[in-house]
Amino acid sequence: MRHSMRAAKGYVMSAVIEVQHLRKSYGDLVAVDDVSFSVEEGEVFGILGPSGSGKSTIVECVKGLRSRDGGDINVLGLDPHQDRAEVTRKLDAQLRAGCSPERMRLAEALSLYSSFYRDPADWGRLLATLGLAPEDGPDEGADGAADLSTVLPLIGNPQVAVFDELTTELDPRSRQDTWELIESVRASGLTILMVTRFLEEAVRLCDRVALIDQGRIKASGTPAGLADHLRAERSAGPDLRLSPR
C-alpha cells in the first residue's frame, strides 16, 4: 500500500481530518452514532457502507454543511461549522455526475469555476495532467459528466478533495474510467476523502477504509483487512448489502 511505502521512506504523517465521537440525529432517527476516525495527509480514506448507512451525513458534517449534535470535528485545524468559509477554501467536493451543468464543456466549466477562487489551479495544465480534452463535456455521455465531477473539486487548489459516491450512477465501463482518473489525481499527493458503497472501489483506490452500517463504524483498517472482515461476516450471517461492483 502507498501508506506503508510512505512510512518506510521516513515520511511523517499528520492528520488533516479528525472526527471524534460524532453524533447526528433527525428527530428520533439517529443517523450517525459515536463515529471516530482520522484522515492523514496525502492518503485516500474511504467511508464504505450501504445506502442509508449514514455515510453522506458524516461527510456533510465534515464539510460544514450540517451541524452536528455531538462530538468534535477538526479539518486542517478548523471547526467546519464555526469556520465554514475557511474550510470551504481548503476542502472541496465534487458535484454528482447527474448534477453537472448540462451541455457544458470541460473548458467552459473550468473557466467559469476558476473565477470563483482567489488562487485557482491552471485548469489547462490540470486537464493535460489527467489526460482529458478541453472539448469533452457532459453531453458526450456518462464519461464526460464523471470527468467534470472529478476535476471541478481540484480547480480551487484544495488541500483535501471529497468524492461522495461519485461513481454510483455510472455504468461499469464509465466507473472503471473514473477510477483511473481518480488514481491520476491521488498520484499528486492530494488528500482524498471518498464515500462509496462499492467494496471493489474501496479496495482499488483507498489506503484505509471505515465500514459504516446503521450510523456506526463496524470495522476499519486497510482494504485487504476489511475484505477479510467482510468475508468472515458473510460466513457468519447476512452481509451489509454492499454493492459488489
pLDDT tens for each residue of 71-106: 999 999 999 989 998 998 888 876 454 445 556 677
* Superfamily holding 2-236: P-loop containing nucleotide triphosphate hydrolases (3.40.50.300)
pLDDT digits (tens, 9 = 90+) for 34-80: 999 999 999 999 999 999 999 999 999 999 999 999 999 999 999 99
Look up residue 135 and give its three cell numbers: 472539448
Q: Tally Cβ neighbours within 10 Å of residue 77.
A: 11
Which of residues 211 and 120 earns the better pLDDT score? 211
Q: For residues 89 and 108, give the distance between their C-alpha atoms in angstroms, rounded to a whole number.
A: 22
Q: Is 214 helix (H, G, I), strand (E, B) or coil?
A: coil
Q: What is the pLDDT of residue 143?
A: 52
User: Looking at residue 102, what is its pLDDT?
Assistant: 55
Q: How far is CA 173 from CA 142, 194, 245, in A?
A: 10, 20, 11
